[in-house]
Amino acid sequence: MRGIQTTIILVLNLLPSYLLRMDQVAIMYLLPQTSLEVGELIVVPNIDKMNWLMDNKKFERINSKLSFAVVGLTTSAYETINQISTETTYKWLQPSRKWYSQRLTVSRPQLKDASRLRLPTAVWNKVNDNNQIKLDREVMANVLSSYDDSDDLLKCMKHPLPSHRVSKFASPRYLPNGHAYYHTGVDLRAYSPTPLGAMADGKVVFADHMVTPGNLIVLSHGKGLFSRYMHLSTINVSVGDKVKAGQIVGLTGQTGRVEAPHLHWEIIWKGNHADPENFLLQWERTCDRS
Ligand SMILES: [Zn+2]
């Protein structure tokens, strides 16, 4: 992955300088200016009467002190540019007024360096139902567009499967038909059916079969955050069930578009895919242990 280029554009939105408060000036020193990676969790301090935004998606509160957002992974370009900005909630100013913004360029591997997936012919033939894939995508878009304002998210999380990583987040790949894309999650080794734990407290919002993911569980953890677990052999939960962090929700397997048995694990926040392992490491430092 190439180095990160960060450019700062300070936009004062033509505000008269006498309106600029010291806390707003201080924000420019609190932004994650040096460690931004594709799929990264960004954690920023809460500031009274101010909202943080990334590409117009509002950061969510972890606790009284911190808020978070996730840098996206789109498949349409080599790089994504995220605009991080703040807005004031002072009653005496327009609520949507942006005080300033910062543009960040996120580097990613190039698709031309993609490796080819060695899918068994039987699997490839089975997962070529393009009509059903389109229907699956529509169902999933609907599932992931829901928003749950629960406080489940504030708690600490757990790794879903104690196993080695066999494919990392955002690695470029291409299919036997030549279609290139970025890996939207992380693959964990699971040669035989292995119990899979929920990453965090939450609610089951999908538990069924789809063409590409195979048997799939989607959990909603509140405030726009979801986790997805794919290629399962067994699903032990149903839509609407409440789950606790570490609760066994199913067994790993090799259903859907797979080369070999493994768990494909994803974290998605408001449509942005996070790097799951990096997310968990950073979350550990900020979550509420009470
Ligand atoms: Zn995968």
**pLDDT tens per residue across span 173-211:** 888 888 888 899 999 999 999 999 999 999 999 999 999
Quick one: residue 137, left, alpha or beta (phi over 0 = left, psi -120 to 50 = alpha)? alpha
Please give the distance, rounded to the nearest whole angstrom, from the Cα atom of residue 255 to the centre of ligand 1: 12
| Domain's final residue, options 85, 106, 127 | 106
Please give the distance, rounded to the nearest whole angstrom, from the Cα atom of residue 66 to the centre of ligand 1: 31
SS3 state at 83: strand
> Nearest 5°: CA angle at 62, between 195 and 58?
110
Please give the distance, rounded to the nearest whole angstrom, from the Cα atom of residue 116 to the centre of ligand 1: 13
Q: What's 27's domain CATH number?
A: 2.60.40
Please give the distance, rounded to the nearest whole angstrom, from the Cα atom of residue 75 to the centre of ligand 1: 15
User: Count of domains in the chain?
Assistant: 2
Assess whether 159 and 257 both reside in one domain: yes
Task: Please give the Cα distance from 21 to 16 (Å, whole number).
Answer: 11
Residue with the bigger pLDDT between 290 and 104: it is: 104
Alpha helices per DSSP H over 37-187: 121-126, 130-144
Assess whether 16 and 33 both reside in one domain: yes
SS3 content of the chain, % helix, strand, coil (to 5): 15, 35, 45
Task: Please give the Cα distance from 87 to 138 (Å, whole number).
Answer: 33
Please give the distance, rounded to the nearest whole angstrom, from the Cα atom of residue 51 to the centre of ligand 1: 34
Average pLDDT over residues 19-47: 69
Assess whether 67 and 136 both reside in one domain: no
Please give the distance, rounded to the nearest whole angstrom, from the Cα atom of residue 183 to the centre of ligand 1: 6
Assess whether 141 and 271 both reside in one domain: yes
Assess whether 223 and 248 both reside in one domain: yes
Q: What's 188's domain CATH number?
A: 2.70.70.10
Average pLDDT over residues 76-88: 61
Please give the distance, rounded to the nearest whole angstrom, from the Cα atom of residue 8 to the centre of ligand 1: 34
Task: State the average pLDDT for the chain.
Answer: 82
Comparing C-alpha atoms, which of 82, 276, 71 is closest to residue 183? Answer: 276
Q: Give pTM, 2 decimals.
A: 0.85
Please give the distance, rounded to the nearest whole angstrom, from the Cα atom of residue 129 to the centre of ligand 1: 19
Amino acid residing at 242:
K
Please give the distance, rounded to the nearest whole angstrom, from the Cα atom of residue 23 to the centre of ligand 1: 43
Please give the distance, rounded to the nearest whole angstrom, from the Cα atom of residue 216 to the centre of ligand 1: 12
| Domain's final residue, options 106, 122, 145 | 106
Assess whether 94 and 205 both reside in one domain: no
Domain that holds residue 40: 5-106
Assess whether 55 and 135 both reside in one domain: no
Please give the distance, rounded to the nearest whole angstrom, from the Cα atom of residue 273 to the centre of ligand 1: 13
Please give the distance, rounded to the nearest whole angstrom, from the Cα atom of residue 186 to the centre of ligand 1: 5
Which range is most confident: 87-96, 224-233, 280-289? 224-233
How much is the pLDDT for 81? 61
> Nearest 5°: CA angle at 231, between 229 and 237?
55
Residue 290 CB neighbour total at 10 angstroms? 7
| Domain's final residue, options 73, 106, 139 | 106
Please give the distance, rounded to the nearest whole angstrom, from the Cα atom of residue 167 to the centre of ligand 1: 7
Please give the distance, rounded to the nearest whole angstrom, from the Cα atom of residue 60 to the centre of ligand 1: 27
CA 248 to chain centre: 22
Residue with the bigger pLDDT between 111 and 13: it is: 111
Please give the distance, rounded to the nearest whole angstrom, from the Cα atom of residue 170 to the centre of ligand 1: 10
Which residues, chain by chain, have CB under 5 Å from ion ligand 1? 187, 264
CB 71 within 8 A of CB 272: yes
Average pLDDT over residues 36-62: 84
Assess whether 101 and 160 both reside in one domain: no
Residue in the block written with tokens 């004062």? 12
Residue in the block written with tokens 């969510």? 60
Assess whether 228 and 180 both reside in one domain: yes
Assess whether 35 and 156 both reside in one domain: no
Assess whether 200 and 120 both reside in one domain: yes
**Chain segment 114-168, per-residue pLDDT in tens:** 888 888 888 888 888 889 999 999 999 999 998 888 766 678 899 999 899 999 9
Share of the chain above pLDDT 70, in %: 78
Assess whether 138 and 93 both reside in one domain: no
Task: Please give the Cα distance from 175 to 210 (Å, whole number).
Answer: 18
Task: Please give the Cα distance from 97 to 87 (Å, whole number).
Answer: 6
